[in-house]
Amino acid sequence: MERLFLFIYHYRAFFTFLTLEFICAWMIIDNNRYQGAQFFNSSNGFVASMNTFSQGVREYFSLRDINATLARENAYLRGRLEVRNQASNNPGILTDSALVKNYDFVSARVVNNSVDRVTNFITINKGQNDGIQPGMAVISPEGVVCKVKVASEHYAVVRSLLNIDMMVSASIKRTGHFGTVQWGGNNPDIVKLKFIPMHVKPVKGDTIVTSGYNAVFPGGVMIGTIESVEQKELFYDIDVRLTQDFRKISFVSVVKSHLKHEQDSLENLVTPPLK
């Protein structure tokens, strides 16, 4: 404290000069409209710039929360869209309350992912506590991801579409003909569309979507677009370029089908067991 007083005393002339300069500047600003307006415009611009910078910093550090909020909203909107699609396909059903809601969507964040194996898996941060069960479909804003394999209380492991053991029923949107999508185990951007017969005329650029021929995936979920078509003896050899880049997948939606158990039980009544 003594050193501080000595410092102030030693430079007392300088501090007196600064004080008088400040008083003079304030008197000029306070008693002259032009100088006052210029000062306040400059100070307001400086404060606005600082506020913009600080807001940008706050938004940057809150991006994770913003993404999570957007993912939850996306899952909700998917559910509403599914209700509208079902209503449009059933003209006799006029109200949402009269419509059995086929699907719910649970938003989840990807916490682990692989693309460099022949059997790739994705780990998400939602599990049994959120109603996630094995066999549920998983999609993203870009398209099909695939199915839940196992789930714990807080996490679930998803068999990626980049898994040679996974097959998804798909259809050519333009023609309506259906086949099966399966990964070949090499290029993480390309899958095969199998069992398209020769009388169909698929072309490069055709959109491939889920067929909806099971209660797991909703119909019409994007898979990709046809990259190339080659004729074989019985079926085409078709490469499909995925719309979902699995190298940078961040958020997904788990599809909870309310009617899967009913459909499976009914089909098992008329389908003989495999021997």
Please tell me the distance from the alpha carbon of residue 168 to that of residue 161, in angstroms, as a whole number.
8
CA distances from 32 to 25, 26, 27, 43 (A): 11, 10, 8, 16
179-233 pLDDT tens trace: 999 999 999 999 999 999 999 999 999 999 999 887 788 888 999 999 999 998 8
How much of the chain, in percent, has pLDDT values that exceed 70?
75
- Structural domains in the chain, sorted by start: 2-61 (no CATH), 64-270 (2.40.10.340)
pLDDT for residue 49 is more than 70: no
* Cα dihedral: 19, 23, 25, 29 (round 10): 150
pLDDT for residue 255 is more than 80: yes
Please tell me the distance from the alpha carbon of residue 166 to that of residue 217, in angstroms, as a whole number.
13
CA distances from 30 to 22, 27, 42, 69, 120 (A): 12, 5, 15, 49, 71
95-134 pLDDT tens trace: 443 334 678 889 898 999 999 999 999 999 999 999 999 9
- Residue 154: how many CA atoms within 13 Å on its side-chain side? 1
Q: Is the pTM of this model over 0.75?
A: no
Confidence of residue 159 (pLDDT cuts 50, 70, 90): very high
What is the predicted pLDDT for the residue at 96?
42
* Residues 100/258, Cβ–Cβ less than 8 Å: yes
11-45 pLDDT tens trace: 778 778 788 877 877 777 667 766 556 655 566 55
| Residue, of 107 and 71, whose pLDDT is higher | 107
Mean pLDDT of 242-266: 85
How many CB atoms are located within 10 Å of the residue 182 CB? 18
**94: amino acid identity, one letter:** L
Please tell me the distance from the alpha carbon of residue 88 to that of residue 174, in angstroms, as a whole number.
19
Name the one residue in this structure whose structure tokens are 């032009």. Answer: 34
Confidence of residue 58 (pLDDT cuts 50, 70, 90): low
Backbone CA torsion sign across 186, 190, 194, 196 = negative
